[in-house]
Amino acid sequence: MKKILWFCLSACLPVGAEGDAELIQLLLRENLDHRTFAFSDVVAASSGKKVIPLDEANAAHLRITTAVRTALDKALGELSRADSPVRKLRRINEASRFFEDSLLAKINSSEGLRCEIPPAKNGELQRSGYPDLKITDKASGVVAYLDPKLVEAKSLDSTLRTFYYEPKHETLKINDDAIHLLCGIEHDGNEGAWTFTRFHLIDLSKLRVRLKAEFQASNADIYPAK
């Protein structure tokens, strides 16, 4: 937790150019490009909620993962068929929504579980942003967040960033102590005729993440209307 407390220091800096300069220097000194943070610490600091490690010896955890694996097995088969709506897409990234919808329906039909789009802190349902799905074991009240990700089989060892978590107070979707799961869905890279071959169910309580600090501007900033 101490690793991310330095963010709070910005609130103590003076407003204006002097404060901006001090904050920039503080960011640069932190050498963020070479540091990693426990995802569980980032979630706790940004949401006040705990990341619960997956324990499949726990009956509720096992009910959830069994339902997820069963739903994924079925979804892979259905969305790999020649008549799959995924075959009509231009980009593989657009297929994520089909997997989200399929998993939501299949897990929601599992006895004793509820699956839904997690509401943001402001009460709104939003599809964008982490996590994509919220699963609740009705008997125990245990919650699991599930985030499906598509990954080409040959790029499993790629170092490109593929997981993002951007905490914003009003649109924050983590509102429970919960298990955090990522399901990596492999495809063969056959553009326009994708076949989904297998999945990886990952416990994110063990994940370490990086913070990418960058200074950015939009076209509207660069080319203001005259």
Q: What is the CATH number of the domain that holds 74?
A: 3.40.600
Q: Is residue 98, in this structure, part of any structural domain at all? A: yes
Q: Looking at the structure, do residues 88 and 19 belong to the same domain, yes or no?
A: no
- Say what the pLDDT of residue 2 is: 43
Contact 113, 107 (CB under 8 A): yes
For 3, the domain range is 1-35
From 195, 111, 106, 196, select the one nearest 146 (Cα to Cα): 106
| 135 found inside a domain | yes
Statement to judge: residues 4 and 63 lie in one domain: no
User: Which letter does DSSP use for residue 116 in this model?
Assistant: E
Q: Which amino acid is at 73?
A: D
HSE, side-chain direction, 13 A CA sphere, residue 101: 9
**Tokens 């993440």 appear where?**
209
Angle, alpha carbons 20-25-29 (nearest 5°)? 150
Identify the CA nearest to 100 among candidates 125, 122, 124.
Answer: 125
Residues 5 and 89 in one domain: no
96 inside domain = yes
Whether the CB-CB separation of 95 and 79 falls below 8 Å is answered with yes
Same domain, 127 and 52: yes
Residue 157 lies in a domain: yes
Domain count across the chain: 2
What is the model's pLDDT at position 33? 72
Backbone φ, ψ for residue 16 (5° rounding): 110, -170
Q: Are residues 67 and 150 in the same domain?
A: yes
pTM: 0.84
Establish if 164 belongs to a structural domain: yes
Q: Are residues 16 and 52 in the same domain?
A: no
In sequence order, the 6+-apart residues with CB closer than 8 A to the CB of 201 are: 65, 68, 69, 72, 181, 182, 183
Is residue 29 located within the same domain as residue 93?
Answer: no
Q: In what order do the strands lie in the sheet with 143-152?
A: 113-116, 133-137, 143-152, 179-187, 196-203
pLDDT in tens, the chain (226 residues): 444 444 444 445 555 667 778 877 777 777 777 788 899 999 999 999 999 999 999 999 999 999 999 999 999 999 999 999 998 888 888 888 999 999 999 999 999 999 999 988 877 777 888 999 999 999 999 999 999 999 888 887 777 777 888 888 778 999 999 999 999 999 988 888 899 999 999 999 999 998 877 778 888 888 887 5
Give the model's pLDDT for residue 15. Answer: 54
The reported pLDDT for the residue numbered 73 is 96
User: Both 159 and 60 in a single domain?
Assistant: yes
Query: Is residue 223 in some structural domain?
Result: no
> Does residue 142 share a domain with residue 84?
yes
- Both 89 and 177 in one domain: the answer is yes
Q: Are residues 110 and 164 both part of a single domain?
A: yes
- Does residue 4 contact residue 37 with C-beta atoms inside 8 Å? yes
Q: Give a yes or no: residue 219 inside a domain.
A: no
Alpha-carbon distance values, 157 to 23, 152, 187 (Å): 35, 10, 14
E-strand ranges in the chain read 37-38, 113-116, 133-137, 143-152, 179-187, 196-203, 208-209
Chain position carrying tokens 């600091």: 45
Query: Do 127 and 177 lie in a common domain?
Result: yes
Asked, for residue 163, whether it belongs to a domain, the answer is: yes
